[in-house]
Amino acid sequence: MRNSYLVFGQPLIEQPEIDEVLASLRSSWLGTGPKVAEFEKRIAAYKGVPHALALNSCTAGLHLACLVLGLRPGDEVITTPMTFCASVNAIVHAGAVPVLADVDPVTMNLDPEQVRRKITKRTKALLPVHFAGRSCDMDALMAIAKQHGLKVIEDCAHAIETEYRGQKAGTIGDLGVLSFYSTKNIVTGEGGMVLTRDAQLARRTKVLGLHGMSADAWKRFSDDGYKHYDVEEIGFKYNMMDLQAAIGMHQITRVELWWQRRLQIWRRYMQELSDLPIGLPAPWGEHERHALHLFTLQVDKARCGVSRDELLMRLHRQNIGTGVHYRAVPGFKVYRERFGWKPEDYPAAHTIGERTLSIPLSAKLSDTDVGDVIAAVRSALHG
C-alpha cells in the first residue's frame, strides 16, 4: 500500500505559473488587468473563437449565459441530471425553470430523444454538459434547437479539449462556458470563461460580469489613465483577477501535452482493469475528441460483490482518493422539494449516480501513482 495519500484531482502546477504569480504579487497588480486579457487571448486562440471572457467561475459564466440570451421567468431550459448542481443552479439564478431530460446510459450525456420529449411551448434553451469530457451528440441537439428555435449553452466545465466533427466544444452552440476550478484539466484555483462568436453576446457578458458598468470601465484596468464609465445594467461582480490568470495563461500552453499524458494513463487503466467485474468508460466515436477529464468506473454490487460506497472506502483506506461524478441531480433535497423531481423518473442517470466512481486522472500522476491506483482497485475488489 502507498504511504502517502493520493489526493483526487490534483492540478499540475509548474514553474512558469509560479513565477508569473510571484511577478503579479511583486507588481502589486492583483485584480483584473493585462494578465486576464492575455489569458482570454490565449483561450480564444486555442478554441478558435473571436470572444473569450474570463470570469471568477464557470457557474458565473453559466448564469450570465442564461441572462444574455434573454431568458425570462417561466422560460424553460432543458439540461441533464448527470451534472454538478451548478448547471441547474445557474438556470434558477437567471429566473428560468430547469427541466431535466435523462441521459444515454452509454455516453452518460443528454439523450436527444429524451430532450425531444421534454420540449414545451415554454422551452427556450438547451444546456448540454459534455460529461467527463465526452462530447454530446451535437448534431442531434443542434437540429432540435434549430427546429424549435432554441438557444444552446454548452457547459464545457470538463471539455476544454473536446471536439465534435472537428469543431471545438463551446463553439458549437450560442455560448460555451469553461471551468478552471482546481481539479479541472487546466486550473486557476477558481475561474471560468465564456466563449462566443457573437460580438453582442460577448459585450453584454462583459458588462454584466462587472456590475453592469459600460465596457469602457474595463479600460480602468490599463495604464492609459482614468476614464469615466456609465452603469448600464444591474450586474454582478464576476471578474477574474490577474493573480488567477497568471496561472491559467501558462497552463493553457501545456494543455495538449497534459492531454497526451492523460491518454497514456487512460489506456493503461483500460488495459489493466479490463478483466475486473467493473464497468469502464465506453469508447467514443471517431468524429469526437474526448477531453479525458474523468475516468469513471461503474460499480454494480450484483456483479462486483461490493457497493460503490464500500469500494470508495476501501480505496480511501489504501490511501487512494476518489470522486463521485455525480449522484444524479433529482436525488438532492432542494430539487425534490422545489421541482418535484424524482430519481426514478431519470433511470439512466439514477443508475449511473448510484454506481459511478472516478479514479485519479491528473497529468500530475507518476507511473508509480497509476500503478498504485490499479493495484488498489484490484485488491479492493477482491475484498
Ligand X SMILES: Cc1ncc(COP(=O)(O)O)c(C=O)c1O
Catalytic residue check, 184: yes
Q: Is there binding between residue 83 and ligand X (CB under 6 A)?
A: yes
Q: Is there binding between residue 235 and ligand X (CB under 6 A)?
A: no
Is the Cβ of residue 40 or residue 155 nearer to ligand X in the bound state?
155
**Would you state the cell numbers that stand for residue 270, as one nine-digit string?**
483500460
CB of 35 to ligand X, least distance (A): 18
Q: Is there binding between residue 312 and ligand X (CB under 6 A)?
A: no
CB of 182 to ligand X, least distance (A): 9
CB of 57 to ligand X, least distance (A): 3
Answer for which of 136, 157, 265, 381 binds ligand X (CB under 6 A) is 157
Point out the catalytic residue in the list 35, 124, 168, 184. 184
Answer for which of 79, 179, 196, 214 binds ligand X (CB under 6 A) is 179
Scanning 108-116, 155-163, 266-274, 367-375 for contacts with ligand X by CB under 6 A, the matching segment is 155-163
Chain centre to alpha carbon of residue 193 = 11
Residue in 353, 348, 354, 280 with CA at minimum distance from that of residue 102: 348
Residue 34 Cα distances to 19, 42, 195, 219, angstroms: 16, 12, 19, 10
DSSP H helices, the chain, are: 15-27, 34-47, 58-68, 85-93, 112-118, 138-148, 199-208, 242-251, 255-272, 301-304, 308-317, 333-339, 347-355, 367-381
| Strands 295-298 vs 356-359: parallel, antiparallel or unpaired | antiparallel
Map residues 85-124 to x or -, x wherever contact with ligand X holds by CB under 6 A: -xx-------------------------------------
CB of 322 to ligand X, least distance (A): 15
The residue whose grid cell reads 448510484 is 354
Instruction: Determine the Cα–Cα distance for residues 87 and 314; give it in Å rounded to an integer.
Output: 31
Q: Is there binding between residue 58 and ligand X (CB under 6 A)?
A: yes
CB of 147 to ligand X, least distance (A): 26
Instruction: Determine the Cα–Cα distance for residues 176 and 154; give it in Å rounded to an integer.
Output: 4
Instruction: Determine the Cα–Cα distance for residues 296 and 177; give it in Å rounded to an integer.
Output: 23
Interactions with ligand X, residue window 120-149 (CB under 6 A): 129
The residues binding ligand X (CB under 6 A) are 57-59, 83-84, 86-87, 129, 155, 157-158, 179, 181, 192
